[in-house]
Structure 1
Protein backbone atom coordinates (compact mmCIF):
# COMPACT_ATOMS: atom_id res chain seq x y z
CA UNK A 1 0.00 0.00 0.00
CA UNK A 2 1.28 3.45 -0.91
CA UNK A 3 2.11 5.96 1.78
CA UNK A 4 -0.01 9.11 2.14
CA UNK A 5 2.94 11.17 0.94
CA UNK A 6 3.69 9.07 -2.16
CA UNK A 7 4.98 11.07 -5.12
CA UNK A 8 4.81 9.97 -8.73
CA UNK A 9 6.89 11.22 -11.62
CA UNK A 10 5.08 12.25 -14.77
CA UNK A 11 6.21 9.08 -16.58
CA UNK A 12 4.81 6.87 -13.83
CA UNK A 13 1.35 8.42 -14.12
CA UNK A 14 1.49 8.34 -17.90
CA UNK A 15 2.23 4.63 -17.82
CA UNK A 16 -0.27 3.85 -15.05
CA UNK A 17 -3.17 5.62 -16.80
CA UNK A 18 -2.21 5.29 -20.45
CA UNK A 19 -2.06 9.04 -21.04
CA UNK A 20 0.58 11.31 -22.50
CA UNK A 21 2.70 13.81 -20.62
CA UNK A 22 1.01 16.45 -22.75
CA UNK A 23 -2.38 15.37 -21.39
CA UNK A 24 -1.13 15.65 -17.80
CA UNK A 25 0.28 19.11 -18.48
CA UNK A 26 -3.06 20.09 -20.03
CA UNK A 27 -4.94 18.97 -16.89
CA UNK A 28 -2.41 20.92 -14.84
CA UNK A 29 -2.99 24.03 -17.01
CA UNK A 30 -6.72 23.56 -16.48
CA UNK A 31 -6.02 23.41 -12.71
CA UNK A 32 -7.56 19.95 -12.40
CA UNK A 33 -4.37 18.55 -10.90
CA UNK A 34 -1.58 20.38 -9.08
CA UNK A 35 1.74 18.56 -9.04
CA UNK A 36 4.60 19.71 -6.88
CA UNK A 37 7.30 21.27 -9.00
CA UNK A 38 10.99 20.83 -8.32
CA UNK A 39 12.90 22.68 -10.99
CA UNK A 40 11.57 21.35 -14.27
CA UNK A 41 10.26 18.12 -12.72
CA UNK A 42 6.69 17.49 -11.66
CA UNK A 43 5.76 15.16 -8.82
CA UNK A 44 2.19 14.05 -8.43
CA UNK A 45 0.57 13.15 -5.10
CA UNK A 46 -1.97 10.46 -4.29
CA UNK A 47 -4.56 13.25 -4.47
CA UNK A 48 -3.46 14.11 -8.04
CA UNK A 49 -3.57 10.43 -8.91
CA UNK A 50 -7.13 10.10 -7.57
CA UNK A 51 -8.19 13.28 -9.38
CA UNK A 52 -6.66 11.99 -12.63
CA UNK A 53 -8.59 8.75 -12.26
CA UNK A 54 -11.79 10.78 -11.75
CA UNK A 55 -10.99 13.01 -14.75
CA UNK A 56 -10.39 10.08 -17.09
CA UNK A 57 -13.50 8.22 -15.95
CA UNK A 58 -15.56 11.38 -16.34
CA UNK A 59 -14.24 11.89 -19.87
CA UNK A 60 -14.93 8.24 -20.80
CA UNK A 61 -18.59 8.60 -19.83
CA UNK A 62 -19.01 11.92 -21.62
CA UNK A 63 -18.71 14.61 -18.97
CA UNK A 64 -17.18 17.91 -20.06
CA UNK A 65 -14.05 19.22 -18.34
CA UNK A 66 -16.22 21.92 -16.78
CA UNK A 67 -18.54 19.31 -15.29
CA UNK A 68 -15.58 17.25 -14.10
CA UNK A 69 -14.00 20.33 -12.49
CA UNK A 70 -17.24 21.19 -10.70
CA UNK A 71 -17.53 17.66 -9.29
CA UNK A 72 -13.85 17.56 -8.29
CA UNK A 73 -14.10 20.93 -6.55
CA UNK A 74 -16.89 19.58 -4.35
CA UNK A 75 -14.35 17.26 -2.70
CA UNK A 76 -13.13 20.11 -0.51
CA UNK A 77 -16.42 21.53 0.78
CA UNK A 78 -15.82 19.94 4.17
CA UNK A 79 -18.77 17.57 4.44
CA UNK A 80 -16.86 14.29 4.04
CA UNK A 81 -17.55 14.33 0.28
CA UNK A 82 -21.33 14.05 0.77
CA UNK A 83 -22.10 16.98 -1.56
CA UNK A 84 -19.66 15.61 -4.14
CA UNK A 85 -21.32 12.21 -3.91
CA UNK A 86 -24.85 13.61 -4.19
CA UNK A 87 -24.03 15.88 -7.14
CA UNK A 88 -22.11 13.13 -8.93
CA UNK A 89 -25.00 10.69 -8.52
CA UNK A 90 -27.43 13.25 -9.94
CA UNK A 91 -25.13 14.10 -12.86
CA UNK A 92 -24.68 10.40 -13.64
CA UNK A 93 -28.44 9.85 -13.60
CA UNK A 94 -28.90 12.82 -15.94
CA UNK A 95 -26.20 11.47 -18.28
CA UNK A 96 -27.84 8.02 -18.30
CA UNK A 97 -31.22 9.55 -19.15
CA UNK A 98 -29.69 11.62 -21.98
CA UNK A 99 -27.83 8.60 -23.38
CA UNK A 100 -30.99 6.46 -23.25
CA UNK A 101 -32.83 9.19 -25.15
CA UNK A 102 -30.02 9.32 -27.75
CA UNK A 103 -30.07 5.52 -28.04
CA UNK A 104 -33.81 5.56 -28.65
CA UNK A 105 -33.36 8.27 -31.31
CA UNK A 106 -30.61 6.22 -32.99
CA UNK A 107 -32.69 3.02 -32.90
CA UNK A 108 -35.65 4.89 -34.41
CA UNK A 109 -33.46 6.36 -37.17
CA UNK A 110 -31.98 2.94 -37.99
CA UNK A 111 -35.48 1.46 -38.26
CA UNK A 112 -36.61 4.31 -40.51
CA UNK A 113 -33.57 3.86 -42.77
CA UNK A 114 -34.13 0.10 -42.97
CA UNK A 115 -37.79 0.70 -43.88
CA UNK A 116 -36.71 3.24 -46.50
CA UNK A 117 -34.33 0.68 -48.04
CA UNK A 118 -37.16 -1.86 -48.16
CA UNK A 119 -39.35 0.60 -50.07
CA UNK A 120 -36.47 0.99 -52.52
CA UNK A 121 -36.48 -2.77 -53.08
CA UNK A 122 -33.29 -3.65 -51.23
CA UNK A 123 -32.36 -5.00 -47.86
CA UNK A 124 -30.11 -3.18 -45.35
CA UNK A 125 -27.49 -5.94 -45.69
CA UNK A 126 -27.08 -5.66 -49.49
CA UNK A 127 -24.25 -3.67 -50.98
CA UNK A 128 -24.82 -0.58 -53.07
CA UNK A 129 -26.10 -1.15 -56.63
CA UNK A 130 -25.92 2.52 -57.53
Structure 2
Protein backbone atom coordinates (compact mmCIF):
# COMPACT_ATOMS: atom_id res chain seq x y z
CA UNK A 1 0.00 0.00 0.00
CA UNK A 2 1.34 3.41 -0.97
CA UNK A 3 1.85 5.80 1.96
CA UNK A 4 -0.23 8.96 1.94
CA UNK A 5 1.67 12.21 2.39
CA UNK A 6 0.56 14.31 5.33
CA UNK A 7 -1.31 17.43 4.31
CA UNK A 8 0.24 20.59 5.69
CA UNK A 9 -1.88 22.55 8.12
CA UNK A 10 -1.90 25.95 6.46
CA UNK A 11 -3.49 27.57 9.51
CA UNK A 12 -0.95 26.44 12.10
CA UNK A 13 -3.93 25.73 14.34
CA UNK A 14 -5.80 22.54 15.07
CA UNK A 15 -8.94 22.20 12.99
CA UNK A 16 -12.17 20.57 14.04
CA UNK A 17 -14.84 19.26 11.70
CA UNK A 18 -18.20 21.01 11.87
CA UNK A 19 -21.29 21.22 9.70
CA UNK A 20 -22.91 24.63 9.87
CA UNK A 21 -23.97 27.31 7.44
CA UNK A 22 -22.06 30.54 6.94
CA UNK A 23 -23.15 33.66 5.14
CA UNK A 24 -20.29 35.03 3.06
CA UNK A 25 -20.55 38.68 2.06
CA UNK A 26 -18.36 40.34 -0.53
CA UNK A 27 -17.29 44.01 -0.25
CA UNK A 28 -19.94 44.93 -2.88
CA UNK A 29 -22.67 43.71 -0.49
CA UNK A 30 -23.61 40.54 -2.38
CA UNK A 31 -24.10 37.49 -0.15
CA UNK A 32 -23.92 33.72 -0.52
CA UNK A 33 -24.62 30.87 1.87
CA UNK A 34 -22.05 28.08 2.07
CA UNK A 35 -21.37 25.21 4.46
CA UNK A 36 -18.50 25.32 6.94
CA UNK A 37 -16.65 21.99 6.93
CA UNK A 38 -14.05 22.79 9.57
CA UNK A 39 -12.99 25.59 11.86
CA UNK A 40 -9.90 26.63 13.79
CA UNK A 41 -9.08 29.66 15.89
CA UNK A 42 -7.71 31.39 12.78
CA UNK A 43 -10.11 30.43 10.00
CA UNK A 44 -12.81 28.32 8.43
CA UNK A 45 -12.98 25.99 5.46
CA UNK A 46 -16.17 26.42 3.48
CA UNK A 47 -17.70 24.14 0.86
CA UNK A 48 -19.15 25.79 -2.24
CA UNK A 49 -20.49 24.77 -5.62
CA UNK A 50 -19.11 26.12 -8.91
CA UNK A 51 -21.64 28.98 -9.07
CA UNK A 52 -20.66 30.23 -5.61
CA UNK A 53 -16.97 30.03 -6.50
CA UNK A 54 -17.59 32.04 -9.68
CA UNK A 55 -19.14 34.78 -7.54
CA UNK A 56 -16.50 34.72 -4.80
CA UNK A 57 -13.26 34.05 -6.68
CA UNK A 58 -12.62 36.04 -9.86
CA UNK A 59 -11.36 33.75 -12.61
CA UNK A 60 -11.82 30.75 -10.30
CA UNK A 61 -8.08 30.70 -9.58
CA UNK A 62 -6.50 30.29 -6.15
CA UNK A 63 -5.66 33.74 -4.78
CA UNK A 64 -1.95 34.57 -5.02
CA UNK A 65 -0.14 35.38 -1.76
CA UNK A 66 -0.81 38.99 -0.86
CA UNK A 67 -3.76 39.21 -3.27
CA UNK A 68 -6.34 37.72 -0.97
CA UNK A 69 -10.06 38.16 -1.50
CA UNK A 70 -11.73 40.06 1.35
CA UNK A 71 -15.05 38.76 2.70
CA UNK A 72 -17.21 38.98 5.80
CA UNK A 73 -18.34 35.67 7.25
CA UNK A 74 -21.29 35.26 9.60
CA UNK A 75 -21.92 31.91 11.29
CA UNK A 76 -23.24 30.53 14.58
CA UNK A 77 -21.43 28.69 17.33
CA UNK A 78 -23.05 27.27 20.48
CA UNK A 79 -21.78 29.12 23.54
CA UNK A 80 -23.70 26.87 25.89
CA UNK A 81 -25.92 23.96 24.97
CA UNK A 82 -28.92 25.00 22.87
CA UNK A 83 -27.84 28.66 22.80
CA UNK A 84 -25.98 29.58 19.62
CA UNK A 85 -24.47 33.02 19.13
CA UNK A 86 -23.73 34.71 15.85
CA UNK A 87 -20.08 35.36 15.01
CA UNK A 88 -19.25 38.08 12.48
CA UNK A 89 -15.70 38.19 11.20
CA UNK A 90 -13.85 39.78 8.35
CA UNK A 91 -11.35 37.61 6.59
CA UNK A 92 -9.60 36.73 3.38
CA UNK A 93 -10.08 33.84 1.01
CA UNK A 94 -6.53 32.48 0.92
CA UNK A 95 -7.06 28.97 -0.44
CA UNK A 96 -9.18 27.28 -3.09
CA UNK A 97 -9.29 23.62 -4.05
CA UNK A 98 -11.63 21.62 -6.24
CA UNK A 99 -12.62 18.42 -4.44
CA UNK A 100 -15.32 17.09 -6.77
CA UNK A 101 -16.89 17.93 -10.11
CA UNK A 102 -19.06 20.68 -8.65
CA UNK A 103 -17.63 21.08 -5.15
CA UNK A 104 -14.85 23.35 -3.97
CA UNK A 105 -13.20 24.18 -0.67
CA UNK A 106 -12.37 27.78 0.13
CA UNK A 107 -10.12 28.62 3.06
CA UNK A 108 -11.03 31.85 4.84
CA UNK A 109 -8.43 33.26 7.20
CA UNK A 110 -9.90 35.49 9.91
CA UNK A 111 -8.56 39.05 10.15
CA UNK A 112 -10.93 40.71 12.63
CA UNK A 113 -13.92 39.79 14.79
CA UNK A 114 -16.87 41.89 15.89
CA UNK A 115 -17.47 41.98 19.62
CA UNK A 116 -16.62 38.75 21.46
CA UNK A 117 -16.40 36.70 18.28
CA UNK A 118 -12.86 35.47 18.86
CA UNK A 119 -13.68 34.30 22.39
CA UNK A 120 -16.75 32.44 21.09
CA UNK A 121 -14.72 30.70 18.36
CA UNK A 122 -11.82 29.97 20.74
CA UNK A 123 -14.12 28.43 23.37
CA UNK A 124 -16.03 26.41 20.75
CA UNK A 125 -12.87 25.02 19.15
CA UNK A 126 -11.37 24.23 22.58
CA UNK A 127 -14.55 22.39 23.61
CA UNK A 128 -14.61 20.32 20.40
CA UNK A 129 -10.89 19.49 20.67
CA UNK A 130 -11.32 18.39 24.29
CA UNK A 131 -14.28 16.18 23.32
CA UNK A 132 -12.22 14.47 20.61
CA UNK A 133 -9.47 13.33 23.01
CA UNK A 134 -10.09 9.71 24.09
- Give the TM-score taking structure 2 as reference length: 0.24
Query: Relative contact order: is structure 1 or structure 2 higher (C-alpha 8 Å, sep ≥ 6)?
Result: 2
Higher Cα Rg: structure 1 or 2?
1
Richer in helix (by share): 1
- Give the TM-score taking structure 1 as reference length: 0.25
Richer in strand (by share): 2
